[in-house]
Amino acid sequence: MKYNLVEMYVDDEIREKAIDVINSKRYIKGPESKAFEREFADYLGVKGAVTTSSGTTALHLIYYALGIGRGDEIIAPSHTFIATVSPAIHLGARPVFADIKEDTYNIDLEDVRKKITERTKAIVAVHLYGHPAEMKALREIADEHGIYLVEDACQAHGAEYYGKRVANFGDIAAFSFFPSKVMTVAGDGGMVAGNNEEILERIAMLRDQGRTTKYEHTALGFNFRMSEILAGIGRIQLKHLDEWVERRNEIARIYGEMLKDEVIIPEIKSYVRHAFYVYTIRVKDRETLREYLHKNDIGTGIYYPIPVHLQPIIKGIVKHLELPITERIVDEIISLPMHPFMSDEDVEYIASKVLEFVRR
């Protein structure tokens, strides 16, 4: 495709860093991971961060550290990636899915309230597409019921809510550096971040085989560590993050100006800074638009065509459930190319092709 859906960033500093770390022969638990954790936490304005091998393992460590297991329930949206809930299911917990709001595609507060039971252990707020969920209200609900609030910030690096970066609102947050994300590490990688030092400390211990000292294991942990090469690359990417998020917002403005009268464009609440991991619009004949754009060399994505509660492996473990907004919008959503390296002309061309299609 001439116009790719996403594009990764590589420069000489990244290439040199990879070679330097290889030559250093220090591949895990070294200075790059330590520095990446400090710099990422400082960027977010939180007390600490812990590198992990992926966003999925970041969430796994979070659920495990919070003691979520057999007999427990977590409330999460279904309009998300399966890894929002799959680690909790591995631990024996049951996902309870709430519907979303049609404007931001984030979890519906009223539905969350309805679904809380005495078994609920946590609410998982996914900042979908990079737009923060309603964290103030979710915090109130969680506090009212004495349950945890987890931020799945895997799509929201650099997003802000009332002037503060995501990861400042829940008890703990997970990020992913999967190759399509707003920032990457040239491989799989993730980060846990937040202000609760006790939880962070436990997560760091569980990530490294439950070790408290080199030969002593006080918990049954995992090996969910990040490679030093990847951490080094992450540090370089982090330096660009803010300018990238800014550019993503500019691109969204151009798309929005051109498309707002013809398709449903993403809503940006006045009190957030959107990270625009993806730019998702809604149209009635999504599949034909998709074919049309592909014919014109324009890549597209569907995040996500099958909601989690309807996935073959999940259907059997959730009781009969209807999520009307989730189930309707999944047939209408389509994501257009979005990455900071697109020119204004690229964006205008793509938008003009969408307009050509809807006005045909």
Residues 296, 299, 305: CA angle, nearest 5 degrees: 125
Q: At what angle do helices 344-358 and 228-259 cross, to 10 degrees?
A: 50
Using the contact rule CB under 6 A, the part of the chain among 2-10, 21-29, 51-59, 99-107 near ligand PLP is 51-59
**Residue (of 137, 175, 134) closest to 156 by Cα position:** 175
Three state DSSP letters for 296-346: CCECCECCCCCCHHHCHHHHCCCCCCCCHHHHHHCCCEEEECCCCCCCHHH
CB of 56 or CB of 300, closer to ligand PLP: 56
Question: Residue 169 is which amino acid?
Answer: F
Identify the residue among 190, 234, 266, 301 touching ligand PLP (CB under 6 A).
190
Q: What is the nearest approach in angstroms of ligand PLP to the Cβ of residue 296?
A: 27
CB of 106 or CB of 249, closer to ligand PLP: 106
CB of 120 or CB of 176, closer to ligand PLP: 176
Using the contact rule CB under 6 A, the part of the chain among 31-39, 50-58, 224-232, 243-251 near ligand PLP is 50-58
Identify the residue among 65, 74, 98, 126 touching ligand PLP (CB under 6 A).
126
Kindly give the residue spans of alpha helices, DSSP state H, lying in the chain: 12-24, 31-44, 55-65, 86-90, 109-115, 135-145, 197-207, 228-259, 286-295, 312-315, 324-329, 344-358
| Residue 227 interacts with ligand PLP (CB under 6 A): yes or no | no
Cα separation, 202 vs 182, whole angstroms: 27
Identify the residue among 178, 224, 255, 276 touching ligand PLP (CB under 6 A).
178
73 strand-pairing partners: 94, 120
Q: Which residue is nearest to ligand PLP (CB)?
A: 55
| Residue 155 interacts with ligand PLP (CB under 6 A): yes or no | yes
Encoded one letter per residue, x for contact with ligand PLP by CB under 6 A and - for no contact, window 72-101 reads --------xx-xx-----------------
| Residue 106 interacts with ligand PLP (CB under 6 A): yes or no | no
Question: Residue 264 is which amino acid?
Answer: I
Q: Which two tokens stand for residue 290?
A: 């998709």
Q: What is the nearest approach in angstroms of ligand PLP to the Cβ of residue 187?
A: 10
Cα end-to-end distance, the chain, whole Å: 23
Q: What is the nearest approach in angstroms of ligand PLP to the Cβ of residue 115?
A: 19
- Cα–Cα distances (Å) from 8 to 11, 12, 179, 183, 326, in that order, read 10, 14, 7, 8, 30
Using the contact rule CB under 6 A, the part of the chain among 62-70, 152-160, 222-230, 319-327 near ligand PLP is 152-160
Chain contacts with ligand PLP (rule: CB under 6 A): 54-56, 80-81, 83-84, 126, 152, 154-155, 176, 178, 188, 190
